[in-house]
DNA sequence: TGCCATCGGAACGCCACGTGCTCTAGCCTG
DNA sequence: CAGGCTAGAGCACGTGGCGTTCCGATGGCA
């Protein structure tokens, strides 16, 4: 870079950078979030640089740091504002299908463009307790609650033993999925989900 | 720093740095590993700097980089050369006790000085596939095999249903423990281990 | 229309990284 | 035992990203 001559060059037209229309408020937020996810899928979390995000969004680093104090918080926000949230608990009338459906919902998220974001976020989470709290509240707890609800309905139908209605047991599915996701870079296959459900969760919860 | 006068100071004795006795081979390795673990417990993985390790070991950065190409590899080696390995599978005659014993072994390691190392290593693992392979081979697989062995003996005694002798099921314990360890910065309590065993693993494997 | 919060852009100081160089300690060979 | 050669210590350097600060411009709002 900087290859340009260094003498009286600026003759090079008054490109006069400050030009394009300037965004504020929501428009700017949206542009930054989009740029963050684009950059994330392009180079991954580990290689994501604040400056590149700013450039891609045609924003300034100052605008980024005014809103987020770190890369992790930016990415957490970007992901959170982009993903739909884990949605409602499936209710097919069969616990097995509901659990599988719930896991598939997570897996789809992880296999999608936000997957790389989540991966990096988890790495960051390990180092940053505050961020861990944010991630737990935003991503982990809703998942556990979803499975608890599924189990509860299964118990009502007599498919699930009542003593299985615990946070610990409801966490098993998400935790195994998360662990698999962290340990393998490839997309989570449906095969794996089925294995988790049929080999672990179902034997664990049924009457 | 650098508070010393800046003029003709060097009168300050010919400290003549290249002096002390110099170590090579195993002695040097040992000093570096020790310094790495000390530094790890002192400031944690995220804040561990190669230069500080070098200083603490009274070694040079060059000596470090000549042996390890990154912080992650250094730490992985340091931990691996320090921990005893996960040891033999317990054999008390009771699956529950054996499983609990196995988990306690891991938990002790994680609660000890290497815990912080493992934590940081796992974070790094997420970004570095090669390192992930190393960690899997050195730390994860031996654990799974240990539990498989425990289950196998339990099956022989009729305590464990034979269909539970799978890698997937043997992995559940270590994976839940790992997940808990990553999600909480506090030491893993025995209470948690008991909960995992009694609420998840035992209902899952018994006849 | 005029004001002012905020934007984009660029430069800056900082710090850790990883490398290269010099000088020297300690082993190994003859 | 002497000489040489490998490898270690210490230091300085270039590099790159971070996070901050300043400036000029801009657009919403009164």
pLDDT value at position A205? 96
pLDDT value at position A76? 87
| Cβ–Cβ below 8 Å for A126 and B182 | yes
Instruction: Using the predicted structure, report yes or no on whether residue A172 has a pLDDT greater than 80.
Output: yes
Determine the distance in angstroms separating the CA of B70 from the nearest CA of chain A, rounded to an integer.
Answer: 15
Highest mean pLDDT among A79-83, A181-185, B15-19, B60-64: B60-64
Instruction: Using the predicted structure, report yes or no on whether residue B16 has a pLDDT greater than 50.
Output: no
| Cβ–Cβ below 8 Å for B127 and A140 | no
Cα separation, B146 vs A168, in Å, equals 23
pLDDT value at position B20? 66
Q: Average of pLDDT values for A126-133? A: 77
Asked whether residue B24, judged by its CB, lies under 7 Å from any atom of the DNA or RNA strand D, the reply is yes
Cα separation, A184 vs B84, in Å, equals 27
For residue A133, how many other CB atoms are within 10 A of its CB? 11
In whole angstroms, D3 C1' to B82 CA is 40
Nearest-Cα residue of chain A relative to residue B43: A127
Q: Which residues of B touch A172 (CB under 8 A)?
A: 172, 176, 200
Q: Which of residues 103-122 of B touch strand D (CB under 7 A)?
A: none
pLDDT value at position B2? 32
Structure tokens at B158: 């009729």
Query: Which of the two residues, B126 and B165, has the higher pLDDT score?
Result: B165
- Asked if B203 and A206 touch (Cβ cutoff 8 Å), the reply is no
Instruction: Using the predicted structure, report yes or no on whether residue B5 has a pLDDT greater than 60.
Output: no
Q: Which of A81, A80, A102 is nearest to A91 (CA)?
A: A102
Nearest-Cα residue of chain B relative to residue A48: B127
Q: Which of residues 97-126 of A touch strand D (CB under 7 A)?
A: none
Asked whether residue B127, judged by its CB, lies under 7 Å from any atom of the DNA or RNA strand C, the reply is no
pLDDT in tens, B31-77: 999 999 999 888 888 889 999 999 999 999 999 999 999 998 999 89
Q: What is the 3-state secondary structure (H, E, C) of chain B?
A: CCCCCCCCHHHCCCCCCCCCCCCCHHHHHHHHHHHHHHHHHHHCCCCCCHHHHHHHCCCCHHHHHHHCCCHHHHHHHHHHHHCCCCCCCCCCCCHHHHHHHHHHHHHHHHHCCHHHHHHHHHHHHHHCHHHHHHHHHHHHHHHHHHHHHHHHHHHHCCCECHHHCCHHHHHHHHHHHHHHHHHCCCCCCHHHHHHHHHHHHHHHHEC
């Amino acid at each position: 870079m900087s290859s340009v001559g260094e003498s009286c060059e600026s003759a090079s037209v008054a490109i006069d950078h400050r030009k394009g229309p300037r965004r504020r408020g929501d428009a700017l937020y949206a542009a930054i979030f989009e740029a963050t996810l684009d950059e994330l899928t392009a180079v991954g979390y580990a290689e994501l640089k604040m400056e590149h995000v700013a450039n891609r969004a045609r924003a300034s680093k100052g605008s980024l740091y005014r809103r987020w104090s770190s890369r992790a918080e930016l990415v957490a926000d970007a992901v959170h504002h982009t993903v739909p949230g884990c949605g409602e608990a499936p209710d097919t009338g069969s616990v097995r299908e509901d659990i599988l459906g719930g896991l598939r919902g997570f897996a789809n998220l992880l296999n999608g463009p936000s997957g790389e974001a989540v991966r990096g976020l988890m790495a960051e989470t390990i180092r940053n307790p505050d961020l861990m709290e944010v991630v737990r509240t935003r991503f982990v707890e809703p998942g556990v609650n979803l499975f608890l609800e599924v189990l509860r309905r299964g118990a009502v139908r007599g498919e699930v033993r009542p003593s299985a209605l615990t946070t610990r047991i409801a966490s098993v599915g998400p935790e195994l999925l998360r662990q698999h996701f962290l340990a393998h870079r490839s997309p989570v296959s449906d095969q794996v989900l089925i294995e988790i459900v049929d080999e672990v969760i179902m034997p664990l919860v049924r009457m």
